[in-house]
Amino acid sequence: MAKKTVSAKKRNALRMLIVEARFYEAISDALLAGAVRVLDEAGATYDRIAVPGALEVPAAIAMAVDAAQRKRAPYDGVVALGCVIQGETYHFELVSNESARGLMDLSVNRQLAIGNGILTVDNEAQARARSTDDGRNKGASAARAALAMVALKRKLAGH
């Protein structure tokens, strides 16, 4: 049996995680398309996890990162995607603030390279405008931010 070889490019490919909140499916699909395009262009591999809403994103990241570490296949970086639209109640502020706080806590306390692509907008029109493919796609921006933070982490570590 021939031994399968892995190219140097694949061996050195970044291993990324995408966690996406699916509450607003059309917006999530567009954000995901932007993030995937950027990661594909960078030659990164990625796993994708879908969760119900933005509040679940930080917990899913923590669970996935821990599981990947146990399997000795850690992620280099994470892209968080989702959308929170202003409503008539205080719930918008809670979800927006706590999801952002959760991502920041993970990033700082666990030194994770996270790109935050969770939109916090006043209405659906603003969400659509920030998830289009005209250069303003925040999923793509979050993937670029995650890649930049991975590069910084590697540079600081001397890699």
- Confidence band (pLDDT; 50, 70, 90) for 128? very high
- Confidence band (pLDDT; 50, 70, 90) for 89? confident
pLDDT at 5: 35
41, 43, 69, 91: the active-site residue = 91
Rounded to whole angstroms, how far apart are CA atoms 103 and 106?
A: 5
| Digit-coded pLDDT (tens) for 10-44 | 556 899 999 999 999 999 999 999 999 999 999 99
Indicate the pTM of the whole model: 0.91
pLDDT at 37: 97
In this predicted structure, the answer to whether residue 7 has a pLDDT above a threshold of 60 is no
Q: Does 159 participate in catalysis according to the annotation?
A: no
* DSSP code at position 116: E
Contacts 24+ apart (CB under 8 A), 47-51: 47/15, 47/16, 47/17, 47/18, 47/75, 48/17, 48/18, 48/19, 48/20, 49/17, 49/18, 49/19, 49/20, 50/19, 50/20, 50/21, 50/22, 51/19, 51/20, 51/21, 51/22
Average pLDDT, the chain: 92
Q: At what angle do helices 138-156 and 25-41 cross, to 10 degrees?
A: 40
> Which residues is 71 bridged to in the sheet?
none
Query: What is the CATH architecture assignment of 14-156?
Result: 3-Layer(aba) Sandwich (3.40)
